[in-house]
Amino acid sequence: MSISRKPKVWVSQPLFDDIVVRLDEYFEVTATPEVTDHAPEAIAAALRDADGALVTLNDRIGKAEIADAARLRAVASVGVGYNNLDIAALHARGIVVSNTPDVLTETTADFGFALMMAAARRITEAEHWLRAGQWQGWGFHKMQGADVHGSTLGILGMGRIGQGIARRAAGFNMRVLYHNRSRLPEAVERECCAQYVDRNALLAQSDHLVLVLPYVPANHHLIDAAALATMKPTATLTNIARGGLVDEDALADALQGGCLAAAGLDVFEGEPAVNTCLLACRNVVLTPHIASASLSTRRAMVALAVDNLVAAMGFGPDAGRPPSAIAPT
């Protein structure tokens, strides 16, 4: 008599128990009880015996991690960016990979806009100064920043989140320029009131530049010393995409040398470690990768990742059709 067993699923981080519990209906679940920085060998060991995995952007999965994962059929990542996954290697093994776009678009666009405003108007710098007891009385020349309203916003990477930021800019009467791998359809440009320009023009003309593009090897340190030198010294730079897009030493030099007015950074190349030169700059707002971190959005991301995993493994109402599988290129 054959004993049918439930497929095994590994959940790499504690998420929301009341959502993740849905996996129990279909799978034997091994959950990670504490936030864990898994070593590559630990990920390989967890995947060796797994049919599916629910992971986050902290968990790097490439060829080595799946070398012995003979049964692995699906990896569902919680997050829209997936530079932690070697998609080509996973697809080459027939593993279905999914991410969580759409559900985080508006929350992330809110945060990008807030970070840009905080950098432009020197909000955290002013708060640190006040908390340090330096405020001796109202000062006419104190903490003068850059206007957001009526200025030129540059968006590098005009996917869903970039478009969300552009829509917000309309309320601030901003001129919106963008650059993207491919130009958007005219109707979308019209809806976002955004004008396509080449990358050099975007850097040169933006008063506030926001990075929202995917991090792929070709984009490594896209914003380097040469790129920063083409920006206005009064401009701000906001990065809510991935830290590796920016040469952080060059950015710190530009911020300290008066070549750039301010920056807002939610992501860092070596996160959670933050470049010490950046930590020393007073004119940079630093946040710990929280652009999508509203409670309802983080819950929606986990719910979508669970749906993806269940469907990719052939169960549930979308069996075989995960709502946001990443297409092979």
Separation between Cα atoms, residue 19 and residue 312, nearest integer Å: 17
Query: Judged by CB, which is closer to ligand DGY: 7, or 81?
Result: 81
Query: Judged by CB, which is closer to ligand DGY: 152, or 324?
Result: 324
Residue 143 near residue 122, CB atoms below 8 Å: yes
Map the footprint of ligand DGY across residues 87-146, applying CB under 6 A: 104
Q: At 204, which helix (H) or strand (E)?
A: helix 199-205
Query: Judged by CB, which is closer to ligand DGY: 121, or 289?
Result: 289
The tokens describing 315, both together, are 């169960």
Separation between Cα atoms, residue 303 and residue 23, nearest integer Å: 11
The distance of closest approach from Cβ of residue 132 to ligand DGY in the complex, given in angstroms and rounded to an integer, is 30
Per-residue contact string for residues 266-305; x = within reach of ligand DGY by CB under 6 A: -----------------------x-xx-------------
175, 191, 271, 299: which is the annotated catalytic residue? 271
Whose tokens are 């990358």? That residue is 199
Backbone angles phi, psi at 318, to 5 degrees: -105, 25
242, 248, 269, 298: which is the annotated catalytic residue? 242
271 belongs to the catalytic site: yes
DSSP string, 97-135: EE---STTHHHHHHHHHHHHHHHHTTHHHHHHHHHTT--
208 belongs to the catalytic site: no
The distance of closest approach from Cβ of residue 11 to ligand DGY in the complex, given in angstroms and rounded to an integer, is 17
289 belongs to the catalytic site: yes
Q: Which of 76, 80, 161, 326 binds ligand DGY (CB under 6 A)?
A: 80
- Per CB under 6 A, residues contacting ligand DGY are 57, 79-81, 104, 289, 291-292
